[in-house]
Amino acid sequence: MSDANTWDAIVVGAGHNGLVAAGYLARAGLKVLVVEKNDWVGGAAVSRSLHPGFLYSNCSYVCSLLRPEIMRDLELPRYGLQVIPYEGGGTFTRDGDVLGTYREHDAHRREIARFSLRDAEAYDRYSADVIRQCRFIRPFLMRTPPDPTSFRPRDVQELLYLGRKFYDLTETEMYETIRFWTMPIAEFLDEYFEADVVKASFCISGIIGTALGPMSPGTAYVLLHHYMGEVDGSVGAWGYSRGGMGGISNALSASFQASGGTVRTGAGVDRVLVENGRTVGIVLDDGEEIRAPLVVSNLDVKRTFLKLVEETELPGGFVKQVRNFKIRGSSGKVNIALDALPKFPALPDDSSIYRGDMHFTDSVERMERAYDDWKAGRWSADPFLDMVIPTTIDPTMAPPGKHFMSCFVQYCPPKVEGHDWTDAERDAFGAAVINQIADYSPGFRDLVLHAEVRTPRELEAEVGLTEGNIFQGELTFDQLLFNRPVPGYADYRSPIGGLYMCGSSTHPGGGVMGAPGRNAASEILRDLKKPRKDMSDAYAVL
């Protein structure tokens, strides 16, 4: 049957994971439709033209985690993806100095030595220890987590795999791994470093995107989540996608369409159709019905099961667990079009620090205090910023001489002291961010041509991230591995036959990584008993 309106599978949501899953399914010969509520694809990995002549990476802003296996399998470079590594970064101190970070290990070490010789000595030990933890965890990213309560051969086999990987460590490494998973990043760093600014600069990856402060247990693992990536085989490195983060989504979309897939934008989904416990398709917001035996949801687990599916179709315990899924937003975003490159007196002209991520939080205490504000339901007057100016490397995002700046801001609560954000509060939040930058760059305000301020309210409204949580669910142990999104359903399946999940709510979680989409596609092909020949084994490319 070659009816143009019958599909083997429908993917709901054209975020990067939806497109990854769709790409693999299309390559396996399925007829796949991707529906997206926005008029563009990409979800949180987009480049939007919000000011004349500028392209904004207005949600996610840097690339590192995208799995190289996926890049290769889906031939993303051929479809236009280009990732350019950062050249470094820096943390400004309140006394007018800056601690630079450099890609070159020895340069970075010398820089740390300016602040503390002891810390420079510890840096090698620290790097080795963290990289060891990365190497241990990375093989699990592209595997479906086993159910530890199950005796099915595949679950047992996967558990044994996990156990064997653990047992491959030395005894000391085993204990260190357990500690690493359960410690606060601040305490972990205290074991290596003494200088506040050095600790603060290493802390950053432990908190980005999480509703935890650096002194909260479990944040050392979050650090790992951000270190697992690589650019050009350099572990832990970060880079820019040329043309903004939309470059990733556009390449994924082009690759998918080249394999025969179809993308429909401006098509929001109202509900998933279920008959006799199996999905049979979807209904769009305008009432149009599209039928398919498989539906793959890229939305977060709350939106998928609490909004698209009738509660009566789901087991009661499941609904309760989905309701209890923790998805508190903790960050905001301020995207700025600049008339010229801002000058920071602490930086020499043309310092490579301009071409990396810059921060103004020079102590762990300031970071933790910003978290205290979040707990109380406030945005912080002294927020933590992760600021990048991608146009210092990638000229395609702004007119000549002008620059695009992206500021990731933490912490920013989903609600302000219990009520929804107002526009005035959003603007005050934006002003707090610009004030902080201006403290380190006099004259900065005069360069601002346009600023887009996004609180969790805006992230939820546009991208569909519940509570504005960038990871579609917090990265705490109760929501990782076989617990993600809920115990018993970590294998990308759901209580409804034919309905799968492929978003960041599933293992291994958020970041523009693509692993959830790939793993979901793998499980679907397994259920369809289709060969997975276009899917390289995890780590086949290393």
Partner 1 sequence: MTARTADIVVIGGGHNGLVCATLLAKAGRKVVLVEAAEALGGAARTVEFGDGCRVSQVAHVLNQLHPEVEKKLELKRHGLQLAATNIPTTALAADGRHLTLHGPFGERLEGDVSAEDQAAWKDLRAKLMRFAAVLRPALTDIPPRLKNGSRGDMMALGKLGLGIRRLGRADMREFLRMMLMNVADVLNEEIGDDRLKGAVAFDAVLGTHLGPLSPNSLMTLYYRLAGEADGMQGALALPKGGMGSVVSALEAAARAAGVEVLTGAPVSRILVENDRVSGVKLENGEEIRATTVVSGANPRTTLIDLLGTCELDTGLVRRVSNIRMRGNVARLHLAVEGLPDFRGLSEGLAVGRLLVAPSIMEIETAFNPVKYGSSSPVPALEIVIPSLSDPALAPSGRHVVSINALYAAYDPKAARKTARTAFQKSVMKVLEQHAPGIGEQVVASEAMMPADIEEACRMPGGHWHHGELAIDQMFMLRPVHGLAQYAAPVPGLYLCGAGSHPGGGVMGAAGMNAARRILSEAK
Between 85 and 218, name the residue whose CB sits nearer to partner 1.
218
CB of 232 to partner 1, least distance (A): 34
Asked if 434 touches partner 1 (CB under 8 A), the answer is no
Asked if 170 touches partner 1 (CB under 8 A), the answer is yes
Could you tell me which stretch among 57-65, 255-263, 264-272, 481-489 binds partner 1 (CB under 8 A)?
Answer: 481-489
Query: How many other C-beta atoms lie within 10 A of the C-beta of residue 253?
Result: 26
Print burial letters for 265-299: b (CB count within 10 Å at least 16), e (below 16): eebebeebbbeeeebbbbbbeeeeebebbbbbbbb
**CA atoms of 475 and 137, how far apart (whole Å):** 14
CB of 195 to partner 1, least distance (A): 17
Asked if 172 touches partner 1 (CB under 8 A), the answer is yes
CB of 463 to partner 1, least distance (A): 25
**Best CA proximity match to 269, nearest among 260, 277, 259, 281:** 281
**CA atoms of 309 and 12, how far apart (whole Å):** 13
SS3 assignment, position 67: coil
H-run or E-run covering 127: helix 117-137
CB of 183 to partner 1, least distance (A): 5
Between 173 and 462, name the residue whose CB sits nearer to partner 1.
173
Between 54 and 180, name the residue whose CB sits nearer to partner 1.
180
399 Ramachandran zone, left/alpha/beta (phi>0; psi -120 to 50): beta
CB of 387 to partner 1, least distance (A): 25
CB of 499 to partner 1, least distance (A): 21
CB of 389 to partner 1, least distance (A): 33
Find residue 71's DSSP bridge partners.
Answer: none
Asked if 488 touches partner 1 (CB under 8 A), the answer is yes
Residue list 204-233, contact with partner 1 (CB under 8 A): 212, 215-218
Could you tell me which stretch among 37-45, 187-195, 350-358, 465-473 binds partner 1 (CB under 8 A)?
Answer: 187-195
Given 117, 131, 160, 178, the residue binding partner 1 (CB under 8 A)? 178
Asked if 95 touches partner 1 (CB under 8 A), the answer is no
Tokens (6 digits) for 537:
């084994």
Given 95, 106, 171, 423, the residue binding partner 1 (CB under 8 A)? 171
Given 131, 160, 376, 540, the residue binding partner 1 (CB under 8 A)? 376
**What DSSP character marks residue 63?**
B
Given 58, 144, 249, 476, the residue binding partner 1 (CB under 8 A)? 476
Cis peptide before 485 (omega within 30 of 0): yes
**CA atoms of 90 and 99, how far apart (whole Å):** 5
Cis peptide before 399 (omega within 30 of 0): no
Given 420, 427, 478, 537, the residue binding partner 1 (CB under 8 A)? 478
Strand 294-297 and strand 9-12: pairing? Answer: parallel
Exposed, middle or buried by CB within 10 Å (0-12, 13-18, 19+), for 249? buried
CB of 258 to partner 1, least distance (A): 41
CA 341 from chain centre, in angstroms, equals 27
**CA atoms of 81 and 253, how far apart (whole Å):** 11
Asked if 167 touches partner 1 (CB under 8 A), the answer is yes
**CA atoms of 329 and 451, how far apart (whole Å):** 21
**Interface with partner 1: number of residues (CB under 8 A):** 37
Between 86 and 374, name the residue whose CB sits nearer to partner 1.
374
CB of 365 to partner 1, least distance (A): 6
CB of 352 to partner 1, least distance (A): 34
**CA atoms of 88 and 104, how far apart (whole Å):** 9
Asked if 477 touches partner 1 (CB under 8 A), the answer is yes
Cβ within 8 Å of residue 435, ≥6 positions away: none
Could you tell me which stretch among 46-54, 400-408, 429-437, 480-488 binds partner 1 (CB under 8 A)?
Answer: 480-488
CB of 243 to partner 1, least distance (A): 38
**CA atoms of 338 and 406, how far apart (whole Å):** 11
* 369 in Cβ contact with 449 (< 8 Å): no
CB of 418 to partner 1, least distance (A): 11
* 106 in Cβ contact with 186 (< 8 Å): no
Given 124, 191, 288, 446, the residue binding partner 1 (CB under 8 A)? 191
Given 105, 154, 179, 445, the residue binding partner 1 (CB under 8 A)? 179
**E-assigned strands of 136-261?**
230-231, 234-235, 239-241
Asked if 369 touches partner 1 (CB under 8 A), the answer is yes
CB of 134 to partner 1, least distance (A): 19
Between 175 and 539, name the residue whose CB sits nearer to partner 1.
175
Between 161 and 318, name the residue whose CB sits nearer to partner 1.
318
Residue list 105-144, contact with partner 1 (CB under 8 A): none
HSE, CB side, 13 Å, CA atoms: give it for residue 17: 31
CB of 472 to partner 1, least distance (A): 18
Asked if 324 touches partner 1 (CB under 8 A), the answer is yes
Asked if 163 touches partner 1 (CB under 8 A), the answer is no
Per DSSP, the chain holds a count of helices (H) and strands (E) of 17, 21
Residues recorded for the chain:
542
**Best CA proximity match to 408, nearest among 329, 298, 310, 292:** 329
Could you tell me which stretch among 61-69, 79-87, 361-369, 534-542 binds partner 1 (CB under 8 A)?
Answer: 361-369
Residue 191's φ and ψ, nearest 5 degrees, are: -75, -10
Given 2, 149, 276, 312, the residue binding partner 1 (CB under 8 A)? 149
Find residue 501's DSSP bridge partners.
Answer: 297
Site for partner 1, rule CB under 8 A? 148-149, 167, 170-172, 174-176, 178-179, 182-183, 187, 190-191, 212, 215-218, 317, 324, 326, 365, 368-369, 372, 375-376, 476-478, 482-483, 487-488
